[in-house]
Amino acid sequence: MTNLKNRGLIFKFYSWLPLIILFISVMNEFDFNYLNLKYFSFNFPFILIFFFTLKDFKNFDYILVFLAGLINDTVVGLPLGISSLSYLLICLATSYFRNITIRPNSIKDWFYFLFIISLINSINYSILTLFFSLELILMNYIVNTFFTFLFYIIFVSIFKYYLKVLND
C-alpha cells in the first residue's frame, strides 16, 4: 500500500471512499428492495455512519453526514431533516460510546448498534406519525432494524479490511 500513498489522487479517492459510498447509497437507496422479499430492507447508511464515526475516521465530517441526511429525505420523500437528525444522533451515540470505551470489542459494538438503531428508528417513527400524521407500518421498522443489525457484522468485516489497507 505504500504505492497507494505515493499515488496521491488514488489515495485521496480511497480515503474519501466511505463518504462517496454514503452519498451514493442515500441517492440510490441501496437496499435490494426489488427482490420483492416481504418486509426485507436494511439501512446501509446507518451501518456506514456508525462504523466510521465510531472509528473516528478523519474524512467523516458531520456536516457532510448532515447533507447526506437531507439528500436521503429528498429521495425517499420524508420531511426534510428527519434522516439528518437520525444520522447525527448516530454520530452522537458513537462519540459518547467512544469516550466511555477503554477496550473496544466488536460484539459490544454490535449490540450497542442494535440499541442505537432501535432507539433512532423509534424516534423516527414517533416524529413521522405524531408530528407529520404519516401512516407507517411498524413491522417494516422492526424488520428493517433487525436486518440492519444482521448485516452490520458483514459490512464491518469489509470496512475493517478497508481500514487495514488504508493504514498499511
Partner 1 sequence: MASSRDDFIIAIRSAFLKKSTQQKFSLLTLVLVSIFVILLSSFDFRAVRIMKTGINEFVYRSSFVVSIPENFIKNTFINIAEYTTFYNNYKKNKDELDELRSRNISSEITQYENKELKELINDYVSSSDKILAKIIVDRDSPFLKSIIINKGSKDKIKIGTNIYDQSYLVGRVIEVNYKTSRVLLLSDLNSNVPVTIAPQNIQAIITGQGDDFGQIKYIKEGLSDELTEESIVYTSGTGAIFKSGIPIGKLKINEEDMDKKMYVEFYSDFSQLKYVFAEVLSKTEVKNSGNISENDNENKNPIDAKLRILEDEIKIIEDSNAKFKQENERLKSEINNLNNEIFKSQTQITSQRDTIKQFNLDKEELKFLRLNLVHGHKCRKTFLNSKGFIVGTSDYKKCVLNKE
55 with 74: CB under 8 angstroms? no
> Stretches 1-9, 11-19, 59-67, 102-110: which one binds partner 1 (CB under 8 A)?
59-67
Q: 37: helix, coil or strand?
A: coil
Q: Report the 10 Å Cβ neighbour count for 102.
A: 4
Nearer to partner 1, 100 or 107 (CB): 100
Which burial class, exposed, middle or buried, applies to 87 when counting CB atoms under 10 A from its CB (0-12, 13-18, 19+)?
A: buried
Among 4, 123, 127, 163, binds partner 1 (CB under 8 A): 127
**23 to 42: interface string for partner 1, x by CB under 8 A:** -x--xxxxx-xx-x-xx-x-
Residue 144 binds to partner 1 (criterion: CB under 8 A) = yes
Among 3, 9, 58, 103, binds partner 1 (CB under 8 A): 58
Residue 104 Ramachandran class (φ > 0 left, ψ -120 to 50 alpha, else beta): beta
Tracing cell 418486509 back to the chain, one arrives at 39
Residue 97: CB minimum distance to partner 1, A:
9
Residue 161: name the closest of 87, 22, 51 by CA.
51
Measured distance CA(108)–CA(142) in Å, rounded? 21
Residue 78 binds to partner 1 (criterion: CB under 8 A) = yes
Nearer to partner 1, 131 or 161 (CB): 131
C-alpha dihedral, 127 to 128 to 130 to 134, nearest 10°: 180
Tracing cell 458483514 back to the chain, one arrives at 154
Residue 157: CB minimum distance to partner 1, A:
23
Binding-site residue total for partner 1 (CB under 8 A)? 54
Residue 67: CB minimum distance to partner 1, A:
10
Binding residues for partner 1 (CB under 8 A)? 24, 27-31, 33-34, 36, 38-39, 41, 56, 58-63, 66, 69-71, 74-82, 84-85, 88-89, 91-93, 95-96, 99-100, 127, 131-132, 134-137, 140-141, 143-144
